[in-house]
Amino acid sequence: MNQQVFRTLAPGATLGMLGAGQLGRMFALAARAAGYRIAVYGGGPESPCGQVSDLCFDRSFDDQQSLREFAAAVDVVSYEYENIPLSAVEYLESLVPVLPDSRLLKISQHRLLEKRSLQQIGIPTAAFTEIRNADDLRRGLQEFGGQGILKTATLGYDGKGQLRIGGEIDAEQVLEGFAGVELILEEIVPFQLELSVLAAGFAGGQTRHFTPAVNHHVNHILDCSRTPDERLSPSIVAEAGAIATQILEHFGVIGVFCVEFFLTDSGRLLVNEIAPRPHNSGHLTIEACAASQFEQQYRAICGLPAGAVTAARPAVMLNLLGDHLVHATPDRWREVFAMTDVHVHLYGKLELRAGRKMGHLTALADDVDAAERIARAARKALGWAGE
């Protein structure tokens, strides 16, 4: 790793962000509060991150001249989504520190590599097999009791690029829909719930992780995160934290990353995937914790000490998709802002679209169920009839 990363970057330094969405925006807002400057790559001044950045490079990831200009303008680089072309990150890495470095990024971009790398270090995942042809698919399905989830190895998110198979299929026909892409078949994990741990590694070997969040998805998109959650026993909480720390130490991560888990019906923890960046399930740390996932991110990449991960109060985050905001009139917003335990985040996206993450609400209360009730009442107050 580039030793320059251990240099402390004091406020006033310019932090580069690859990707211009909401995660970059919340990072920029946190870092700017401490006096850092932000240069964003991959979006213009109207993008969620560009709106709150000092410099925008609205350029392509395969334009090396632009990447060189960006590297010259920043002191360190981080990123907000894992599907940034690896070649761009590796090129930047030769010019300026990029954190987390490309080792963890590379495996998180490829489901097969990710699962193999985790199993090599003894971390359990769902059973899986590589699918190169129809025979592989038939064999894999037979091995997993006639059902499974077929996923593209790369570029999948929020359930995109996935097909749940249960029952008789024509393997050749199924694969026609995925022509030319690498595929993985996973067993269908019978799980009680899904949880995630946000962890951070710092120069000099400090590590931190937040209390796990229990996550509920609707239509494959995260809807609700709760922490702490009484359905997680102390031993599961400890095990999830230990697995995140093991990954962190194995890959020498400096920066923030998220580990998503299944808690199976039989009580086992399996890692589903790793995201080498802050995560939607960690947004509630902004209000709930002494230093949020975004503060940990700028602290880590600037060579600063870890912030405290202690939570002041139980918290629940509900996403605000385009669907939730169709009826949000000023009077309805007024009602939500009158709920003083509710915190509103909107990402500055100009166009409301169904399924698009427009923002989120975080509610704090003395217990997590009360926080969820308050958050749901707030989303309902916005005119969303689905609560």
User: Under a CB-based contact definition with an 8 Å cutoff, are residues 16 and 73 in contact?
Assistant: yes
Q: Is 266 exposed, middle or buried (0-12, 13-18, 19+ CB in 10 A)?
A: exposed
Strand partners, 255: 201
Regarding 272 and contact with ligand AMP (CB under 6 A), the answer is yes
DSSP code, position 188: P
Q: Given the complex with ligand AMP, which of 82 and 93 has the nearer CB atom?
A: 82
C-alpha–C-alpha distance, residues 28 and 80, integer Å = 11
Regarding 194 and contact with ligand AMP (CB under 6 A), the answer is yes
Rounded to the nearest whole angstrom, what is the least distance from the CB of residue 203 to ligand AMP in the complex? 30
Rounded to the nearest whole angstrom, what is the least distance from the CB of residue 83 to ligand AMP in the complex? 12
Regarding 231 and contact with ligand AMP (CB under 6 A), the answer is no
C-alpha–C-alpha distance, residues 310 and 289, integer Å = 5
> Angle, to 10 degrees, between the axis of helix 64-73 and the axis of helix 86-93?
50
Q: Given the complex with ligand AMP, which of 34 and 174 has the nearer CB atom?
A: 174
| Residue 129, phi then psi, degrees to nearest 5 | -150, 150
For ligand AMP, the binding residue among 1, 12, 135, 220 (CB under 6 A) is: 220
Residues in the chain: 387
Both tokens of 245, joined, read 């720390």
Regarding 216 and contact with ligand AMP (CB under 6 A), the answer is no
Q: Which stretch binds ligand AMP (CB under 6 A): 89-97, 136-144, 182-190, 342-350?
A: 182-190
Regarding 127 and contact with ligand AMP (CB under 6 A), the answer is no
Rounded to the nearest whole angstrom, what is the least distance from the CB of residue 190 to ligand AMP in the complex? 8
Rounded to the nearest whole angstrom, what is the least distance from the CB of residue 64 to ligand AMP in the complex? 31
For ligand AMP, the binding residue among 55, 181, 189, 365 (CB under 6 A) is: 189
The residues, ordered by sequence, that sit 6+ positions from 85 with a Cβ below 8 Å of its Cβ are: 61, 62
Question: Over 115-154, what HEC string results?
Answer: HHHHHHCCCCECCEEEECCHHHHHHHHHHCCCEEEEEECC
Regarding 273 and contact with ligand AMP (CB under 6 A), the answer is yes
| Residue 188, phi then psi, degrees to nearest 5 | -80, 120
DSSP code, position 341: T
Regarding 44 and contact with ligand AMP (CB under 6 A), the answer is no
User: Under a CB-based contact definition with an 8 Å cutoff, are residues 259 and 240 in contact?
Assistant: yes
Rounded to the nearest whole angstrom, what is the least distance from the CB of residue 162 to ligand AMP in the complex? 6
Q: Given the complex with ligand AMP, which of 128 and 210 has the nearer CB atom?
A: 128
Regarding 159 and contact with ligand AMP (CB under 6 A), the answer is yes
Both tokens of 68, joined, read 């060189």
Rounded to the nearest whole angstrom, what is the least distance from the CB of residue 221 to ligand AMP in the complex? 9
Closest CA to 134 of 169, 182, 171, 163: 171
Q: Which stretch binds ligand AMP (CB under 6 A): 181-189, 239-247, 335-343, 372-380?
A: 181-189
Q: Given the complex with ligand AMP, which of 262 and 298 has the nearer CB atom?
A: 262
Q: How many residues bind ligand AMP (CB under 6 A)?
A: 12
289 CA to centre of own chain:
18
Interacting residues with ligand AMP between 237 and 256 (CB under 6 A): none
Regarding 186 and contact with ligand AMP (CB under 6 A), the answer is yes
Q: Given the complex with ligand AMP, which of 80 and 82 has the nearer CB atom?
A: 82
For ligand AMP, the binding residue among 132, 216, 217, 353 (CB under 6 A) is: 217
Q: For binding to ligand AMP (CB under 6 A), which residues are involved?
A: 126, 149, 156, 159, 186, 188-189, 194, 217, 220, 272-273
